[in-house]
Structure formats: C-alpha cells, structure tokens
Homo-oligomer: A and B are copies of this chain.
Amino acid sequence: MGYYPTSLTGLIENFSKLPGIGFKTAERLAMHVLKMPYNEAAYFSESIMDVKKKIGFCSECFSLSDNEICSICANPLRHNSILCVTEQPADMIVIEKAGAFKGLYHILCGVLSPMDGVTPSDIKIKELVARIDKDKITEVIIATNTNAEGESTADYIANILKSKNIKISRIASGIPVGGELKYIDQVTLKRAMEARYAV
C-alpha cells in the first residue's frame, strides 16, 4: 500500500471494502477516479453523501424514499386499494421492474425468524393491519420469499388478516419461465404439479 500517495491509498482502501471488489480492482477504480474530470468526481463524492443524508423510509409503505411519502404511494394512478407485501425494498424494486403490479406496496423490513429473535413486533405487521383499516384495502398479495422464513411469515400474516373481509393471496411458486425441469428441486416441482392449470 505504501507505494501510493496517502490520499490514493485511502481511496483504494475504501473501494476494496465494497462487496466483490478485490485489491487489484480497487487500484484500477482509484486510478480511474484520479483521471476523471473534477466535477464528475465531485458528483460521485456528493452522491454518496446524498444517499446517506436523504434516503429514509416512506411513512406509508416503508420503502426507500427521499421524501416523507415515496413516489409510488404519492402516485394517484396506482390502484390504492391493493397492497403487495414484500420483505425488503429490494424485493419491491424487482416487482416494479417486472411491471406486473399496479397497486401499492407494504415493506415488512424483515421476516419472522425465531432463530434470529425476529418476532412479529420487530417487523411492520401492525402497521400493515392499521393501514388495511385506514386506507380501505380490499386485496393483499403476500410476496415474501419462498424460503422457510418467508413462508412462515406469509402464513402468519394470512392468519392475522383472516378476520378482515379482504382478498388475500400468495404469489405462485412453480417452474421459472425458461427453466429446465431437470434442474428444478423436488419441492418446487411438487408445488408446480399441485398448482397445475387446465389448458
């Protein structure tokens, strides 16, 4: 490390702390920053602090937002009586990218996991229940992950919402589109069989 000027060593160190960036790549990225136009580097530097200073959680759905209310919750064109429940903001973004949903979201900010000490009060379940009453929600789609924690969280939420007069569904499991049967695990295949549909 001593081969570089101190400031360059600092930048290399910072780059190599990022996930998937090794020392050699960090050296290359730091040299690239060195050669960047000054204002481009200033924009890069500022955007890091911007993210840290501005991003918080939407007070309605708990997704990431620069503002009190996120752009999806604030959008009057979204169907505001349907909620899609996900574990994390990243899950919401994947669904948005697929363009498959036009309602609003509710981010749990976690998943029930007794092993890690995460109980229903640690994630945004009571906020979900309050929102269903307040905003006259008629349908809830539970889109937690299909692993053990995600499934049990989905069951827990479905159970809690049973008493309300709303539609509750879980996104379908099955063979991924373009997937080959020989690479699919048995549990998925069993579910795909059970959920077969007439053609």
Contact = CB atoms under 8 A, between A and B. Distances in A.
Interface of A: 2-8, 10-11, 13-14, 17-21, 25, 28-34, 36, 38, 40-52, 54-55, 64-67, 70-71, 90, 93, 96-97
A19 B47 contact: no
Contacts of A10: 43, 47, 50-51
A20 B30 CA distance: 13
Number of identical protomers: 2
B8 A55 contact: yes
A189 B21 CA distance: 36
The 8 closest A-B pairs by CB, nearest first: A45-B48, A7-B50, A10-B47, A5-B66, A14-B44, A11-B47, A7-B54, A3-B96
Nearest to A53: B7
Contacts of A45: 45-46, 48-49
A40 B8 CA distance: 16
Given A3-B96, A3-B97, A52-B38, A64 B14 contact: no
Nearest to A34: B51
A65 B20 contact: no
A8 B49 contact: no
Contact of A19 (B6, B29, B52, B96): B29
Contacts of A65: 5
Contacts of A90: 31
A24 to B, nearest CB: 11
A15 to B, nearest CB: 8
14 contacts: A3-B93, A3-B97, A4-B93, A7-B66, A8-B51, A11-B47, A13-B47, A34-B52, A34-B64, A36-B52, A41-B51, A42-B49, A42-B52, A45-B49
